[in-house]
Amino acid sequence: MINSMTGYGQAQGEIQDASYIVEIKSVNNRYLKTIVKLPELLAFLEEDIEKLLRKNLARGTVNYILRLKDISANSLFNIDEAALEAIARKLNKAGSAAGITNGFDISNLLNLPGIVQPVTPAQNEVEQIKRAVMESSQEAINKLKQMRAVEGKHLQDDLKGHCEAIEKDLEQIRTRSAAVLPEYAKKLRQRADMLLAEAKLKLDEETLAREVAIFADRSDISEEIARLDSHLQQFVQSCQADGQAGRRLDFISQEMLREANTIASKASDRDIARHVVDMKCWIERIKEQIQNVE
């Protein structure tokens, strides 16, 4: 069963004085690209979250967001009161020396480097926070994977329908190719007889046979039909297999298009050319669809 690379998962939890929400979104990408956004005081979790995402997902651009809510101010930051008091005394002293009697806005002092500092949790708190966030992250990942599996089922059904349409066109080409050579030989004989009749000459059967043989060799598409049929079977089998099939399906679809192009270039027949155009349209739809397969 194939999986889509598009999905969404969310989970919630609580740590100490705060509640949080984990959101994970993924879209298609040729490789795995992770984007992790964390609050500053939980930045130490980035490496563990990165490993967790790579353990569970193989392809796609994955956006991971952890948001804190209902959190107390004491859990967010500390104020270096000693440094703030020292700065205030110096400013008052400098203001008095300069004859400045107006006070200063303490909110401006809070913007100075080192006055407001994020809370650094203790080691035992770090382990509790890590365990809680990892559990919620895994829950969100599981929901994401469930959504990707559902979308993958729809993709698989769609791709199967495209393959069935190609098989129908390929069968028409196989049937038509058997009649192309006799028709060519008949037309060649009629044209030669018409031209030679005016010159009162007799048709050389050996020359005619040689020309027909050359055409037969040049326009033989039996191998291409067999290979394209094999590629279709491999494609369907790969869709049904477990694991990441996106890259394999992409390669097979390229080979399918290659065989279709070769059939078009070798077969000198209007009906075959029409069926090849239809097949190439279906293959292009397949190539577009599998860009979202993990």
The answer to whether the CB of 5 falls within 8 A of the CB of 24 is no
* Residues 129-139: b if buried by 16+ CB within 10 A, e if exposed: bbeebbebbbb
Q: How far apart are CA 130 and CA 136, in angstroms?
A: 10
Does residue 57 form part of some domain? yes
Same domain, 19 and 142: yes
Q: How far apart are CA 217 and CA 206, in angstroms?
A: 17
Query: What DSSP element (H or E) covers 44?
Result: none
Does residue 118 form part of some domain? no
Q: How far apart are CA 21 and CA 66, in angstroms?
A: 6
The pLDDT, as a whole number, for residue 84 is 64
Residue 288's domain spans which residues? 151-292
Same domain, 180 and 271: yes
Chain position carrying tokens 């952890």: 66
Same domain, 245 and 159: yes
Q: What is the pTM of this model?
A: 0.71
If one counts the domains in the chain, the total is 3
Q: Name every residue whose Cβ is closer than 8 Å to that of residue 261 and which is 6 or more positions away in sequence.
A: 280
CATH number of residue 45's parent domain: 3.30.230
pLDDT (tens digit, 9 = 90+) per residue, 178-234?
A: 776 565 555 655 565 565 555 555 555 665 566 655 555 566 778 888 999 999 999
Same domain, 24 and 144: yes
Does residue 270 form part of some domain? yes
Domain edge (last residue) among 98, 117, 149? 149
Closest CA to 163 of 228, 258, 241: 228
Q: Name every residue whose Cβ is closer than 8 Å to that of residue 113 and which is 6 or more positions away in sequence.
A: none
Same domain, 161 and 260: yes
Does residue 176 form part of some domain? yes
The pLDDT, as a whole number, for residue 73 is 47
Same domain, 43 and 56: yes
Same domain, 143 and 160: no
Same domain, 28 and 96: no
3-state secondary structure of 267: coil
Closest CA to 75 of 127, 119, 125, 136: 119
Q: How far apart are CA 112 and CA 287, in angstroms?
A: 56
Measure the CA dihedral 110/114/116/117, to 10°.
170
Positions in the chain short of pLDDT 50: 73, 76
Q: How far apart are CA 263 and CA 176, in angstroms?
A: 12
Report the share of the chain in percent with pLDDT over 70.
68
Does residue 26 form part of some domain? yes
Same domain, 138 and 229: no
Same domain, 45 and 163: no
Same domain, 228 and 274: yes
Does residue 120 form part of some domain? no
Does residue 116 form part of some domain? no
Same domain, 174 and 257: yes
Exposed (0-12), middle (13-18) or buried (19+): which is 255, by Cβ within 10 Å? middle
Does residue 117 form part of some domain? no
